[in-house]
Chain A
Amino acid sequence: SYVLTQPPSVSVAPGQTATITCGGDNIGSKSVHWYQQKPGQAPVLVIYDDRDRPSGIPDRFSGSNSVNTATLTISRVEAGDEADYYCQVWESISDRVFGTGTKVIV
Chain B
Amino acid sequence: QVQLVQSGDDMKKPGASVKVSCKASGFTFSTYGISWVRQGPGQGLEWMGGISAYNGNTYYAQRLQGRVTMTTDTSTGTAYMELRSLTSDDTAVYYCARDAGTFDAWFDPWGQGTQVTVSS
Residues of A within 8 A of B (CB): 30-31, 33, 35, 37, 42-45, 48-49, 54, 86, 88-90, 93-101
Contact = CB atoms under 8 A, between A and B. Distances in A.
Interface string B37-77: 10000001111011000000001111000000000000000
30 contacts: A33-B107, A35-B107, A42-B110, A43-B37, A43-B97, A43-B110, A44-B109, A44-B110, A45-B106, A45-B108, A48-B106, A49-B106, A54-B108, A86-B44, A88-B106, A90-B104, A93-B101, A94-B60, A94-B61, A95-B47, A95-B61, A95-B62, A96-B35, A96-B50, A97-B47, A98-B37, A98-B47, A99-B44, A100-B44, A101-B44
B112 A42 contact: yes
Given A45-B107, A94-B60, A101-B45, 12 more contacts: A31-B104, A37-B45, A42-B95, A42-B110, A42-B113, A43-B95, A44-B110, A54-B108, A89-B104, A95-B62, A98-B45, A99-B44
Nearest to B105: A90
A30 to B, nearest CB: 7
Contact of A42 (B49, B60, B106, B111): B111
Contacts, number: 62
Interface of B: 35, 37, 44-47, 49-50, 59-62, 95, 97, 101, 103-113
A98 B106 CA distance: 11
Nearest to B4: A42
Contacts of B107: 33, 35, 43, 45, 88
Contacts of B109: 44-45
